[in-house]
Homo-oligomer: A and B are copies of this chain.
């Protein structure tokens, strides 16, 4: 079922959908016979909600595939993450709140160190402090080439996001990182005729950067990789007729949400409770809210099982504030699994709960991986959750006579 097909069936309604994403929610027991993080957490509110919900497990991309944050989110947002790939450069740019448009090509940039012959001596320029790299970014921002515009934002230390803006830029471009010291940085090459202008522009930029940084130590050169245009994704307003808001503390998630046409809301503070306050304050102005909890993933990546349990319990404590708003449809899920056991994202399906007045409730009063196996949503592609949520919000009309 493609998005065009769905789009043609969308009708307006006065209903509200909340998608609560605990990043990396899915987990694993630390030892045989044990419980996962979610199963271990004391979650009376989520369990109560589960009783009147349909439960299932979502597959973010495909069987056995571990998603990054971009594909993980696109999936649960309703898009096929294989069809709509977000290039590395674009994701980095979105992550530092750089706006991307159809005339832009983004890349991931590195400050690096080269010797007098231009041979690479340190691919990361000694991981210079962020304060220092922010000063160097100001230098790079002075570069002017024809009518093109350039945007540079430091991500952290030696890493920056790079965007060039001009009409007619392709992104079939090779990277300049030779991935070994002792070799010269490489020129950008166009892999198709449509990308030749972009290659020329990027090479000119790099040459000017080399001259500007010549006397800096140790960051006397830059490298660019992961060139990517703004991915053309049909947006929530276009596709679903939804006024959609994103509530996320971290820039990358606001960026992915913006890409699909959500309005990123200002969160005052950086706790999950602050995010719920933002939800309450903006309740009347949107039809759809994506609320992102980062710390479940952080704890999982750190291998900190108990911290992940605590974050889940904290979110559980906030569920009554969500339900007090009387949402028509609530989705609680994750963009992927991040088991503390693996200290990284994983391929495991993600426990998912869909609540509404019209859902066929499974009457399973427990939100956990193994409880969700018994649920009526079954094992389903993450992208199938949104159509079911829209149906429950009475925003899809009948197909065919």
Contacts and interface: CB of A to CB of B under 8 A. Distances in A.
Contact of A400 (B1, B36, B63, B71): B71
A-side interface mostly: loop
B5 A82 contact: yes
Interface string A71-88: 100000000011001101
Given A36-B360, A360-B348, A370-B363, A398 B68 contact: yes
A63 B361 contact: no
B358 A86 contact: no
A128 interface: no
A393 to B, nearest CB: 10
Nearest to A28: B360
Contacts of A64: 6, 384, 386-392, 396
Most-contacted residue by chain B among A29, A348, A375, A400 (CB, 10 A): A400
Interface in A254-282: none
B362 A400 contact: no
Interface of A: 1, 5-6, 9, 28-29, 32-33, 36, 52, 57, 61-71, 81-82, 85-86, 88, 91-92, 226, 341-342, 344-349, 358, 360-363, 369-370, 373-380, 384-392, 396-401
Q: How many copies does the complex hold?
A: 2
Contacts of A396: 64-66, 347
Nearest to A89: B401
A178 B368 CA distance: 54
A33 B360 CA distance: 10
21 contacts: A1-B63, A6-B65, A9-B65, A28-B358, A32-B52, A62-B384, A62-B387, A64-B386, A64-B388, A67-B398, A68-B400, A68-B401, A71-B400, A81-B399, A86-B401, A348-B360, A349-B360, A349-B376, A373-B374, A377-B379, A379-B380
Nearest to A90: B401
Contacts of A68: 398-401
Given A65-B387, A85-B400, A347-B396, 18 more contacts: A1-B63, A6-B65, A57-B376, A63-B388, A64-B389, A64-B390, A64-B396, A67-B399, A68-B401, A86-B400, A86-B401, A341-B358, A342-B358, A344-B398, A348-B360, A370-B376, A373-B376, A376-B379
